[in-house]
């Protein structure tokens, strides 16, 4: 049993070492590497399901409305707590 575990460990180490060498050989800092990177980026962008203009506008409006509501709430709480602290300090 110990021999099998040891041999699996050696094989795994060799596999990891081989993968590491392959990664080191493929560099994006060369012209062909830059070209490959750009092609991969284009391929990934084609996979994206972009929302329609109507959906984007609706969600943007919702986010803006939510920000205004939360800002109003936090501003009110801050104002009230500030007045409360001022009242306690002056008492």
pLDDT digits (tens, 9 = 90+) for 56-90: 999 999 999 999 999 999 999 999 999 999 999 99
What is the per-residue pLDDT across 15-30, written as a single tens digit (0 to 9) for each? 555 555 555 556 778 8
Task: Give the predicted TM-score (pTM) of the model.
Answer: 0.52
- 33, 26 Cβ separation under 8 angstroms: yes
Residue 52: helix, strand or coil by DSSP? coil
User: For residue 29, what is the DSSP state?
Assistant: T
Higher pLDDT, 33 or 60: 60
- Calculate the alpha carbon distances from 62 to 57, 58, 65, 67, 74 in Å: 9, 6, 5, 9, 18
């Amino acid at each position: 049993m110990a021999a099998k575990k040891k041999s699996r460990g050696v094989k795994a180490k060799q596999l990891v070492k081989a993968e590491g060498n392959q990664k080191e050989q493929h560099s994006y800092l060369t012209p062909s590497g830059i070209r490959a990177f750009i092609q991969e980026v284009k391929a990934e962008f084609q996979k994206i399901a972009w929302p329609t203009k109507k959906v984007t506008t609706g969600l943007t409006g919702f986010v803006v409305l939510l920000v205004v509501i939360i800002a109003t709430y936090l501003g009110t709480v801050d104002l009230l707590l500030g007045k409360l602290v001022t009242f306690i300090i002056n008492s």
